[in-house]
């Protein structure tokens, strides 16, 4: 395992981070402008979502040229300057590699459409008739996972939007093309890579209908996925870089294999099981209250398994596909500051590498849109129509989008209380929640009790306390499903973290702390010394043993 254990990654969605030229879209020069802020925060790496040439149907996850910066984001020189200036400030840049599919605007796909069989084999084309797709698989964005091309009398597979054609990783030419992309950006000084839905790249030998689901059980963690990952890492020499795989609907066993250093695959991975505990019957678009018991069991189970088998988790609440954590798992009205800080504490002191999504560090909330016209995300607008067809009223469908839409994580970064939250001097490509007047970087910079300062302390704690970075983890026996308590220990070092995920006072089964412990961090200002037997709503307390272990 590399040196990720004391590192923290900050995720930037450049389209919504900072617009330097007033066109309403964020850009790379906007990111360069804010590097000093990121250095002040103390993060070690910046992962940027894609800014390569793209028709932007899926906001850049539909890549039409892996080697060129899309002019909407800037120039190659801007990308090189970003890498260089970040490095000067001690920040490594990670790029996002979308290798499961390309845009149908990519030249490879255009050649395939033109009848070039060599390039048709870069994708997953199947002969067929217009009425009968090869399988009944569904796109993750709704609808059929196959698109028919009448001129070719063939279907092509797209697990996402129809403009995102899945690549054929069984073709060694495809694998070689993608290795070249890695080597190109590695040569430019990129220090790490995120691999988009990389556990979907290996499709089954035989395509068959799924009579139990949407087809994902056939292509998720597919037959050659570990072999292809090993080959990619080996042939590009990135085994010592920070690499993270986004694993869609994956399993614990596979994540151990993806991240155990002995496997020489990836440094760490994201899984999403803990972010589905409010999906009714596992359906993202059917709401249910957060199942905190399941959340606690999943967090404990994954941490323990990865620790026991030398895996390594990317630990996170938010990203550009998820609602804002403080709105989803906290209480952004009655306990906004306390619950945002509690969620941060619960994640940042776990075993793994923490990821902060832009705006999470200031407690940004869900968008709160009131009209479908405010939504931009292809998945959200697709599902709005699907929900109406399922019989939901426009009001009900809009409420579901309010809770689930990926646009909740894509509203512009709230830099100040000035017009458009200091994000742009133009018209923002997507609406900014009105709460930017109070929830913004400038305001929180002036308040040492702010969420922002609290994140900065957590990041510093990971570097100051070896038990957090290197220690093992043991979860404390607390029966309440909303109390997540754990001990990190390394030799004589011991850190105890207790979190109340609920909006009520709680009594601990086992008092924590006491005379031999000091309070390292707390999200309530007036934390008393001594033994702790009660927690206030959304309270987090971090204790460090000062006395010798008996």
Query: Which residues are known to be catalytic?
Result: 196, 246
Q: In the window 375-394, what residues touch ligand TEU (CB under 6 A)?
A: 379
Binder of ligand TEU out of 27, 58, 361, 407 (CB under 6 A): 58
Site map (CB under 6 A) of ligand TEU, residues 68-107, x = contact: ------------------------------x---------
Q: Which residue is nearest to ligand TEU (CB)?
A: 61
- The set of residues, in sequence order, having a beta carbon less than 8 Å from that of 137 and lying 6+ positions away, is 144, 145, 146, 157, 159, 210, 214, 215, 218, 219
Binder of ligand TEU out of 47, 61, 109, 355 (CB under 6 A): 61
146: contact with ligand TEU by CB under 6 A: no
CB of 98 to ligand TEU, least distance (A): 5
Instruction: Spell out a b/e string for 310-341, using b for 16 or more CB atoms within 10 Å of the CB, else e.
Output: ebbbbbbbbbbbbbbbbbbbbbbeebbbbbbb
Q: 417 and 436 in contact (C-beta within 8 Å)? A: yes
Residue whose tokens read 């932007």: 56
Measured CA to CA, the distance from residue 324 to residue 181 in angstroms comes to: 32
Q: In the window 316-345, what residues touch ligand TEU (CB under 6 A)?
A: 320-321
Residues near ligand TEU (CB under 6 A), total: 14
Q: In the window 434-493, what residues touch ligand TEU (CB under 6 A)?
A: none
Instruction: Spell out a b/e string for 241-268, using b for 16 or more CB atoms within 10 Å of the CB, else e.
Output: bbbbbbbbbbebebbbbbbbeebebbbb
Q: 192 and 242 in contact (C-beta within 8 Å)? A: yes
Structure tokens at 53: 């040439």
Q: 497 and 485 in contact (C-beta within 8 Å)? A: yes
CB of 445 to ligand TEU, least distance (A): 30
The residues facing 429 across adjacent strands are none
CB of 146 to ligand TEU, least distance (A): 17
Q: 285 and 404 in contact (C-beta within 8 Å)? A: yes
Binder of ligand TEU out of 160, 258, 292, 369 (CB under 6 A): 160
166: contact with ligand TEU by CB under 6 A: no
- State which residue, 61 or 429, has the beta carbon closest to ligand TEU: 61
CB of 123 to ligand TEU, least distance (A): 15
Measured CA to CA, the distance from residue 171 to residue 65 in angstroms comes to: 19
Residue whose tokens read 């069991």: 297
- State which residue, 319 or 339, has the beta carbon closest to ligand TEU: 319
358: contact with ligand TEU by CB under 6 A: no
Binder of ligand TEU out of 8, 28, 79, 197 (CB under 6 A): 197
CB of 61 to ligand TEU, least distance (A): 3
Question: Given the rule CB under 6 A, which residues bind ligand TEU?
Answer: 58, 61, 98, 140, 160, 196-197, 246, 248, 284, 320-321, 379, 406
């Amino acid at each position: 395992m590399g040196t990720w254990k004391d590192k923290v990654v900050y995720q930037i969605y450049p389209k919504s981070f900072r617009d330097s030229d007033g066109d309403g879209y964020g850009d790379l020069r906007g990111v360069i402008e804010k590097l000093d802020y990121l250095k002040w925060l103390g993060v070690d790496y910046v992962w940027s979502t894609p800014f390569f040439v793209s028709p932007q149907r899926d906001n850049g996850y539909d890549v039409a040229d892996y080697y060129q910066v899309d002019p909407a984001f800037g120039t190659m020189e801007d990308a090189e300057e970003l890498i260089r200036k970040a490095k000067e400030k001690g920040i490594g840049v990670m790029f996002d590699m979308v290798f499961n599919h390309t845009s149908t605007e990519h030249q490879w796909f255009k050649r395939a459409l033109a009848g070039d069989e060599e390039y048709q084999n870069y994708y997953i084309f199947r002969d067929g008739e217009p009425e009968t797709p090869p399988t009944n698989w569904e796109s993750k964005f709704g609808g059929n996972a196959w698109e028919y091309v009448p001129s070719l009398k063939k279907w092509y597979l797209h697990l996402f939007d129809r403009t995102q054609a899945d690549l054929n990783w069984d073709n060694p030419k495809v694998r070689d093309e993608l290795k070249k992309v890695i080597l190109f950006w590695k040569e430019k000084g990129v220090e790490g890579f995120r691999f988009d839905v990389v556990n979907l790249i290996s499709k089954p030998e035989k395509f068959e209908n799924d009579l139990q689901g949407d087809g994902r059980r056939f292509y998720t963690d597919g037959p050659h996925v570990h072999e292809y990952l090993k080959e990619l890492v080996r042939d590009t020499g990135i085994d010592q870089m920070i690499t993270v795989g986004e694993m869609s609907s994956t399993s614990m066993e596979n994540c151990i294999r993806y991240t155990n250093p002995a496997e020489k695959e990836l440094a760490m991975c994201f899984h999403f099981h803990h972010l589905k505990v409010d999906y009714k019957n596992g359906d993202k678009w059917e709401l249910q209250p957060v199942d905190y018991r399941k959340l606690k069991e999943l967090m404990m189970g994954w941490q323990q398994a990865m620790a026991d088998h030398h895996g390594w988790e990317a630990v996170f609440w938010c990203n550009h596909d998820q609602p804002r954590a403080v709105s989803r798992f906290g209480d952004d009205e009655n306990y906004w500051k306390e619950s945002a800080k509690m969620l941060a504490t619960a994640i940042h002191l776990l075993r793994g590498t923490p990821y902060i999504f832009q705006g999470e560090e200031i407690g940004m909330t869900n968008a709160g849109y009131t009209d479908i016209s405010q939504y931009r995300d292809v998945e959200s607008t697709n599902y709005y129509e699907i929900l109406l067809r399922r019989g939901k009223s426009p009001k009900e469908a809009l409420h579901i989008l309010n809770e689930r839409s990926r646009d909740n994580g894509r509203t512009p970064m709230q830099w100040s209380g000035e017009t458009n939250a200091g994000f742009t001097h133009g018209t923002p490509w997507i609406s900014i929640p009105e709460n930017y007047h109070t929830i913004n970087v400038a305001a929180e910079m002036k308040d040492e009790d702010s969420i922002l300062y609290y994140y900065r302390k957590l990041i510093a704690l990971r570097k100051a306390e070896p038990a957090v970075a290197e220690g093992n983890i043991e979860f404390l026996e607390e029966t309440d499903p909303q109390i997540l308590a754990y001990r990190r220990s390394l030799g004589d070092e011991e850190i105890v973290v207790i979190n109340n995920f609920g909006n009520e006072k709680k009594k601990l089964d086992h008092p924590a702390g006491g005379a031999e412990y000091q309070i390292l961090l707390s999200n309530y200002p007036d934390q008393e010394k001594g033994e702790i037997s009660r927690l206030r709503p959304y309270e987090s307390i971090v204790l460090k043993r000062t006395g010798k272990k008996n």
